[in-house]
């Protein structure tokens, strides 16, 4: 059967099987999906042409940018994607200049036709999809680190290896499985690189209370993940009577001392990314998107949306290059903001949230935690986090946290926390029961905490009174899951649905090897975990 498009990389893919119509559930058109497929095929061609040659920094960067641009909810702009496609082609031609005039049909440096992947044997397709989607997620972290001047040879080497593997016909399931698991190890290195980059640039995060109230007067909402863009915006708005509010995965910015020193970084606006079309309606302020989590803007606020870096949408004002945010600033002054103080409560009605429990803050209490476990004051620790989304059933995570017993702690990270981060859960042994560790990339810090606790107890991570309850939506969740599997962490609860790109055989392998559990109900899962 012929389709307009085929995409099944995100959790909300149509029918839990794949978007095949004129547009995907995310809003990208079939035309855009086709360009993204051609861009991916061109990156595979570039990886092929690079084999055995000295790679250029330009080739490295276009591979990172190209993979990131094809991640869910990043670029909806055909022109921007075509520019990346042309650049990939130019770089490939510079590596193999004779190929253009060669009449031999060797296919050695050809761009890859992604339709070949989508029509592959389902197990091969499943494993290659894990590699491709995992690389797209990892590319987001590599890009953020790259912006801050940090790169890693091993991470880049894997991008080339993984792209080559996706386009290579000769690999069996047994060949591909180690490449999949290697991605988990490399992504751990990539997250560590971004962790170093953020800390060198913005300081060591520490707990911070963040208001959900917007003060009267002009303001800007900044969304996405890029802390560097936030700092540039804060610098450019200093002394201009404009306040700045974070949105979505920008919330953890309030934990970094080099960012919260700006007095006009006031608080957080709104809840999770998937609520933006409702929460931004008629907003008297501009919104600057720095990375993914952009949804097609509604007419009620489309004239107030600005984009930068790789995130883009047709018709929206895009700022790149020198990062001059003057158009955003001017729009904020024109719109004027709210006349009176406005509070947009969290999903559960709270008006204040706390973030910034990085690994230093959590590990400072490791002795207290260990003692509380020994005295049975603390029965269990849950890490409830991951990507949020709009599919029904995600209230599971809210209900799960609400139903956790008072003798348990909850660690959280990524945008899934908006389901419950405004809840007041009290404290245990002098420690808040709910500890927000930051963005999705801060999974690296959570892993370090788990490893440190295991060392303190003289056991493996799997023997700790710790359970991971994860939600997934896009491709960064894929590479983080692979990192957890690389570390041998078992008994992960995953939802709200299992990835459509996993074939029954590959899913069965993961379940058998790592005891992955699809979520059921909070009541049943809590009873099983705490039994």
Cα–Cα distances in angstroms (integers) from residue 280 to residues 28, 36, 213, 294, in the given order: 20, 28, 15, 12
Residue bearing tokens 């059933």: 393
Q: Are 496 and 387 in contact (CB under 8 A)?
A: no
Task: Give the mean pLDDT of the chain.
Answer: 95
Give residue 102's pLDDT band: very low, low, confident or very high (50, 70, 90).
low
Confidence at 20, pLDDT banded by 50, 70, 90: very high
Q: How confident is the model at residue 97 (pLDDT cuts 50, 70, 90)?
A: low
Q: Are strands 208-211 and 352-355 parallel, antiparallel or unpaired?
A: antiparallel
Q: How many domains does the chain have?
A: 3
Same domain, 372 and 408: yes
**For position 44, what pLDDT does the model report?**
98
Same domain, 182 and 296: no
Q: Which two tokens stand for residue 114?
A: 């992604």
Give CA–CA dist 166/41, Å, rounded.
Answer: 9
Q: Determine which helix (DSSP H) or strand (DSSP E) holds 210, and give its type and residue range.
A: strand 208-211
Provide the 10 A C-beta neighbour count for residue 46.
27
- Residue 99 pLDDT: 57
| pLDDT for residue 234 | 98
Using pLDDT thresholds of 50, 70 and 90, give the confidence band for residue 360.
very high
- 78 pLDDT higher than 90: yes
228 close to 308: Cβ distance less than 8 angstroms:
no
- Residues 279 and 194 placed together within one structural domain of the fold: no
- Is residue 117 domain-shared with residue 190, that is, in the same domain? yes
Last residue of a domain, one of 297, 319, 343: 343
Tell me what pLDDT residue 113 has: 97
Whether residues 263 and 174 share a domain: the answer is no
- The DSSP secondary structure of 411-442, one letter per residue, reads EE-SGGGGGTTT----EETTEESEEE--SGGG
Shared-domain flag, residues 185 and 326? no
pLDDT 10s digits, 214-269:
999 999 999 999 999 999 999 999 999 999 999 999 999 999 999 999 999 999 99
Give the mean model confidence (pLDDT) for residues 416-422.
97
Do 400 and 520 sit in the same domain of this protein? yes
Q: What is the pLDDT of residue 433?
A: 98
For residue 488, which of 458, 451, 446, 524 has the smallest C-alpha distance? 451
**pLDDT given for residue 508 in this prediction:** 95
Residues 197, 212, single domain; the answer is no
Asked if the structure places residue 485 within a domain, the reply is: yes
Q: What is the rounded CA–CA span in Å between residue 211 and residue 113?
A: 49
382, 326: one domain: no
Question: In 325-442, which ranges are continuous DSSP H helix?
Answer: 326-335, 359-364, 366-374, 395-403
pLDDT of res. 392? 83
Residue 337 has pLDDT above 70, yes or no: yes
Residue 85, in any domain of the structure: yes
Backbone angles phi, psi at 148, to 5 degrees: -90, 10
Short-list 192, 190, 188, 208, CA closest to 200? 192
Calpha distance 206→359 (Å, rounded): 9
291-316: average pLDDT: 96
Residues in the chain: 531
CATH number at residue 185: 1.20.1270.20
Is the distance from CB of 265 to CB of 207 less than 8 angstroms?
Answer: no
Please say if the pLDDT value at position 132 is more than 70. yes
pLDDT class for 522, splitting at 50, 70, 90? very high
Q: Which of 51-60, 104-113, 312-321, 468-477 has the lowest mean pLDDT?
A: 104-113
The backbone torsions φ and ψ at residue 123, rounded to the nearest 5 degrees and listed phi first, read: -75, -40
Check residue 96 and give its pLDDT: 76
Average pLDDT over residues 479-487: 97
406 in Cβ contact with 426 (< 8 Å): yes
Domain that holds residue 448: 356-530
Question: Is residue 514 within 8 Å of 492, Cβ to Cβ?
Answer: yes
Residue 52, pLDDT score: 82
Query: 258 and 334, same structural domain?
Result: yes
**272 assigned to some structural domain:** yes
Residue 115 has pLDDT above 60, yes or no: yes
Task: Provide, rounded to the nearest whole percent, the portion of the chain with pLDDT above 70.
Answer: 97
Looking at residue 98, what is its pLDDT? 57
Neighbour-count burial of 120, counting CB atoms closer than 10 A to its CB (0-12 exposed, 13-18 middle, 19+ buried)? middle
pLDDT of residue 240: 98
**With 60 as the cut, is the pLDDT of residue 31 above it?**
yes
- Digit-coded pLDDT (tens) for 452-478: 999 988 999 999 999 999 999 999 999
- Domain match, 177 and 269 both: no
CB atoms within 10 A of CB 195: 22
Which CATH number characterizes residue 306's domain? 3.40.50.2030
pLDDT of residue 135: 98
Q: What is the mean pLDDT of residues 72-99?
A: 91
Adjacent-strand bridge partners of 29: 23
Is 348 part of any domain? Answer: no
Spell out the residues 6+ positions from residue 337 whose beta carbon is closer than 8 angstroms to its own: 214, 216, 217, 218, 219, 243, 284, 285
* pLDDT(104) > 70: no
Q: What H or E segment, with its residue span, contains residue 449?
A: helix 443-457
Whether residue 5 lies inside any domain: the answer is no
Looking at the predicted structure, is the pLDDT value of residue 344 above 80?
yes
Residue 374 has pLDDT above 70, yes or no: yes
What is the H or E stretch that residue 342 is in? strand 342-343
d(CA 44, CA 79): 20
Residue 2 within a domain: no
Last residue of a domain, one of 179, 201, 223: 201
DSSP secondary structure string for all residues of 464-504? SSEEEEEE--SHHHHHHHHHHHHTT----EEESS--TTS-H
Is residue 349 domain-resident?
Answer: no
| 377 and 511 fall within a common domain | yes
CA atoms within 13 A on the CB side of 343: 11
34: in domain: yes
Q: Is the pLDDT of residue 54 over 90?
A: no
Domain boundary among 182, 201, 220: 201
Virtual torsion, Cα 521, 527, 529, 531, nearest 10 deg: -160
């Amino acid at each position: 059967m012929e389709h307009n498009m085929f995409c099944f990389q995100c959790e909300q893919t149509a029918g839990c099987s794949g978007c095949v119509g004129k547009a995907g559930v995310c809003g990208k058109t079939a035309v855009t999906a086709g360009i993204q497929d051609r861009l991916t095929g061109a990156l595979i061609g570039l990886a092929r042409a690079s084999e055995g040659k000295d790679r250029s920094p330009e080739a490295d960067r276009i591979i990172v940018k190209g993979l990131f641009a094809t991640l869910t909810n990043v670029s909806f702009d055909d022109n921007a994607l075509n520019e990346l496609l042309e650049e990939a082609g130019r770089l490939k031609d510079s590596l193999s200049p004779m190929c253009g005039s060669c009449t031999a049909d060797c296919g050695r440096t050809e761009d890859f036709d992604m339709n070949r992947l989508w029509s592959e044997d389902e197990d091969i397709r499943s494993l290659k999809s894990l590699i491709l989607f995992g690389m797209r997620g990892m590319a987001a972290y590599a890009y953020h680190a790259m912006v801050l001047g940090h790169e890693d040879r091993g991470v880049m080497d894997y991008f080339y290896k993984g792209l080559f593997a996706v386009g290579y016909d000769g690999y069996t399931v047994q060949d591909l499985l180690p490449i999949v698991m290697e991605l988990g190890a490399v992504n751990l290195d990539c997250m560590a690189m971004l962790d170093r980059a953020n800390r060198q640039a913005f300081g060591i995060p520490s707990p911070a209370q963040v208001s959900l109230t917007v003060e009267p007067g002009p303001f800007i909402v900044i969304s996405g993940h890029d802390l560097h863009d936030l700092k540039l915006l804060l610098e450019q708005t200093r002394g201009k009577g404009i306040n700045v509010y974070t949105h979505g995965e920008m919330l953890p910015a309030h934990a970094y001392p080099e960012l919260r020193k700006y007095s006009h970084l006031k608080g957080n606006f709104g809840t999770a990314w998937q609520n933006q079309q409702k929460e931004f309606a008629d907003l008297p302020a501009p919104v600057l998107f720095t990375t993914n989590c952009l949804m097609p803007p509604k007419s009620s606020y489309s004239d107030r949306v600005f984009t930068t870096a790789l995130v883009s949408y047709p018709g929206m004002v895009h700022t790149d290059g020198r990062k001059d945010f003057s158009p955003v600033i001017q729009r904020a002054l024109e719109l004027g903001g709210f006349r009176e103080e406005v509070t947009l409560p969290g999903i559960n009605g709270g008006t204040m949230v706390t973030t910034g429990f990085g690994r230093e803050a959590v590990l400072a209490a490791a002795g207290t935690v260990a003692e509380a476990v020994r005295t049975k004051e603390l029965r269990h620790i849950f890490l409830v986090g991951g990507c949020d989304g709009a599919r029904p059933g995600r209230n599971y995570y809210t209900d799960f946290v609400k139903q956790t017993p008072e003798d348990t702690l909850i660690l959280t990270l990524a945008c899934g926390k908006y389901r419950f981060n405004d809840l007041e859960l009290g404290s245990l042994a002098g420690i808040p029961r709910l500890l927000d560790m930051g963005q999705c990339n801060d999974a690296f810090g959570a892993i370090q905490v788990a490893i440190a606790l295991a060392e303190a107890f003289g056991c493996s991570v799997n023997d700790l009174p710790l359970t991971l309850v994860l939600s997934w939506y896009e491709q960064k969740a894929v590479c983080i899951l692979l990192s957890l599997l690389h570390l041998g962490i078992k008994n992960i609860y995953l939802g709200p649905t299992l990835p459509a790109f996993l074939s029954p055989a590959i899913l069965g392998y993961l379940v058998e090897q790592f005891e992955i559990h699809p979520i059921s109900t909070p009541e049943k899962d809590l009873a099983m975990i705490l039994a």
